[in-house]
Amino acid sequence: MHTVDPPSPKLRRSLTTPLLTLYGLGVTVGAGIYVLVGATAEAAGPYAAVSFLVAALVVSLTALSYAELATRYPVSAGEAAYVEAGFQRGWMAVLIGLAVAASGIISASAVAIGAASYLHTLTGLGTALLTIGVVSVMGLIAIWGITQSVFVAAVITVIEIAGLLFVIGWGMSVQEPQGHEISAMIPGLELSTWRGIMAASLLAFFAFVGFEDMANVAEEVKDPTHTIPKAILLTLVLATGLYLATSITVLLVVPIDTLSTSAAPLTLVFFDAPEVIKQGFAAVAVVATVNGVLIQMIMASRVIYGLADRDHLPKILATVPQVTQTPVVATLLVVAIILLLTQTLPIGILAERTSQIVLGVFVLVNISLILLKSRPGSTREHFRVPLVVPILGVLTSALLFGAGFL
Q: What is the mean pLDDT of residues 396-404?
A: 85
Cα distance between residue 290 and residue 135, in whole Å = 9
Q: What is the 3-state secondary structure (H, E, C) of 21-55?
A: HHHHHHHHCCHHHHHHHHHHHHHHHHHHHHHHHHH
Q: Give the pLDDT band of residue 8 (cuts 50, 70, 90).
A: very low
Which pLDDT belongs to residue 278?
86
Cα distance between residue 257 and residue 280, in whole Å = 25
pLDDT digits (tens, 9 = 90+) for 351-368: 888 888 989 999 999 999
Mean residue pLDDT of the chain comes to 83
Q: Give the pLDDT band of residue 149 (cuts 50, 70, 90).
A: very low
Quote the Cα angle for 352-123-158, to 5°.
60
Residues 289/94, Cβ–Cβ less than 8 Å:
no
pLDDT digits (tens, 9 = 90+) for 261-302: 887 888 888 888 888 898 888 888 888 888 778 878 877 887
Residues 253/38, Cβ–Cβ less than 8 Å:
no
Domain borders along the chain are 25-378
Cα distance between residue 318 and residue 106, in whole Å = 21
pLDDT digits (tens, 9 = 90+) for 12-70: 666 777 888 877 787 787 767 887 888 888 888 888 899 999 999 989 999 999 989 88
Cα distance between residue 91 and residue 123, in whole Å = 47
Cα distance between residue 331 and residue 317, in whole Å = 9
Cα distance between residue 39 and residue 48, in whole Å = 9
Q: What is the mean pLDDT of residues 188-193?
A: 79
Cα distance between residue 202 and residue 130, in whole Å = 27
HSE toward the beta carbon, residue 348, CA cutoff 13 A: 14
Q: Letter for the amino acid at 370?
A: I
Range among 30-44, 72-86, 90-104, 369-383 with highest mean pLDDT value? 90-104
**pLDDT reading at 331 higher than 70:** yes
For the chain, give the percent of residues with pLDDT over 70.
89
Say whether 13 sits in a helix, a strand or coil: coil
Element at 198 (helix H, strand E)? helix 191-206
Cα distance between residue 209 and residue 35, in whole Å = 14
* Sign of the CA dihedral with 185 first, then 284, 134, and 355 last: negative
Total residues belonging to the chain: 406
Q: Give the pLDDT band of residue 148 (cuts 50, 70, 90).
A: very low
Which pLDDT belongs to residue 13?
65
Residue 77 phi, psi dihedral angles, 5° rounding: -70, -15
Which pLDDT belongs to residue 334?
93
384-406 burial code (b ≥16 CB/10 A, e <16) = ebeeebbbbbbebbbebbebbee
Domain 25-378: CATH class, spelled out: mainly alpha
**pLDDT reading at 170 higher than 60:** yes
Helix ranges (H only) for 124-149 are: 127-144
Which pLDDT belongs to residue 366?
95
HSE toward the beta carbon, residue 233, CA cutoff 13 A: 11
Contacts of 25 (CB under 8 A, 6+ apart): 157, 161, 235, 238, 239
